[in-house]
Amino acid sequence: MKVPFRPSESPVVYVFRGGSGAGQDINQHSYEYDKDWRRCHGRRLCTRSGCPGRRYGARLRTCVLFGDEEKIKSVLASEGCPAERFGIVATTEVIEMGDHPAKAFQAKADSSITVGFGYLAKGAVDGFASAGSTGAMMVGSMYAVKPIEGVVRPTISSIVPTIAGRPALLLDVGLNVDCKPEVLAQYGLIGSIYAEAVLGIERPRVAVLNIGEEETKGNAQTKATYELLKAESRINFVGNVEGSYLFSGKVADVIVCDGFVGNTALKMAEGLYRINTALGCRNAFWDAMNYENVGGTPVLGVNAPVIIGHGCSSPQAIRSMILSTEQVIKADLTAKLQRAFQN
């Protein structure tokens, strides 16, 4: 396959916009998000003020699109955006949302996600972002770029706002619903590195989400996790944090829990955001709860930057996803995690 950019240009990110399945950003425009995709990847992302691939100081990065080349160029032309601003890699297949992720990833070798992960694994792109099939993205993360040696289970996290005015990190938020204490202890270290490298929080406070702040509270899982994190000298462990302090910013910057608890907490917060928005309650805290301002969540603990966006992402969310990918790459997060697990 011909690559329309030179390796020396150091392309930074594969941007994928999902409709009903992987690759439908370009190959099939069957959902209402078609117009959103056009606005996002047209004027919003391709102008000098909006395209995140244009601002890297002396080193110009390239945003790479994988999909139907003819349709990509047609959409860009309709928005008055020169195709030369992007790297374009032609693909012909689509991983649908109804496809089995692992089987489709192998069977549809020329799908946007499969080809994109191939480029990421070879180092042809520095980061990979997608709002397509989450299952296929996780398959690629686990089998194409693979977990960092020493990491038992990679995780996904969510940045949550606090009334203190700085973000906190909640992990896991749904990837691993059953976690052994050893896995949760690793999440404390992974989250601490992420919070410092990407969020810019110096000596982030790490806590276990629990039903009480006392050391003796909780179930067998949280008690054992508490002991392991207390013995981890590389993090600033502050003990337990109750759910009522999750968004306060007063106790912790990194909140550790299994994916069942984390996803439940996250969905509750998303529901409250929608309710407050419908009731006309607007302020800086609730605005920061809007997923569109984050755009995507990184898969933490794998050997390359991978960002997964929401399947119904708006133009603002896609833009935020691209900028999040840029942020993770510039922070050199993967290398920092790899170094942490060398011992």
Per residue in 286-325, pLDDT tens? 988 888 888 888 999 999 999 998 777 788 888 888 889 9
- Which of 26-40, 55-69, 116-130, 228-242 ranks highest by mean pLDDT? 228-242
Q: What percent of the chain has pLDDT over 70?
A: 82
Of 313 and 270, the one with more pLDDT: 270
| Of 5-9, 12-16, 148-152, 296-300, minimum mean pLDDT range | 5-9
Q: Residue 160's pLDDT is what?
A: 93
> CA neighbours within 13 Å on the CB side: how many for 32?
3
Average the pLDDT over each of 23-32, 54-63, 85-94 and give the range with the smallest value.
23-32
Per-residue tokens: 210: 């629990």
Looking at residue 2, its pLDDT comes to 40
Omega before 126 within 30 of 0, i.e. cis:
no
Interatomic CA distance for residues 322 and 200, integer angstroms: 19
DSSP 183: H
pLDDT for position 134? 86
3-state class (DSSP) for residue 248: coil
Region 127-148 average pLDDT: 92
Question: Can you give the pLDDT at residue 289?
Answer: 87
For the chain, report the end-to-end CA distance as a whole number of angstroms. 40
Residue 333 structure tokens:
């997060």
How confident is the model over 77-96, as a mean pLDDT? 89
Q: What is the mean pLDDT of residues 134-157?
A: 94
* Pair 189, 235: CB distance under 8 Å: yes
Output the pLDDT for position 31. 24
Average of pLDDT values for 59-71?
78
Nearest to 240 by CA among 254, 232, 231: 254
Burial grade of 234 (CB within 10 A; 0-12, 13-18, 19 or more): exposed
- Per-residue model confidence (pLDDT) at position 309: 86
pTM of the predicted protein model: 0.81
**pLDDT at 228 exceeding the cut of 80:** yes
Q: What is the predicted pLDDT for the residue at 320?
A: 87
Q: Which two tokens stand for residue 181?
A: 């204490």
Specify the pLDDT at position 61. 60
Query: 43 falls in which pLDDT band (50, 70, 90)?
Result: very low
pLDDT at 195 over 50: yes
What is residue 39's predicted lDDT score, i.e. its pLDDT? Answer: 36
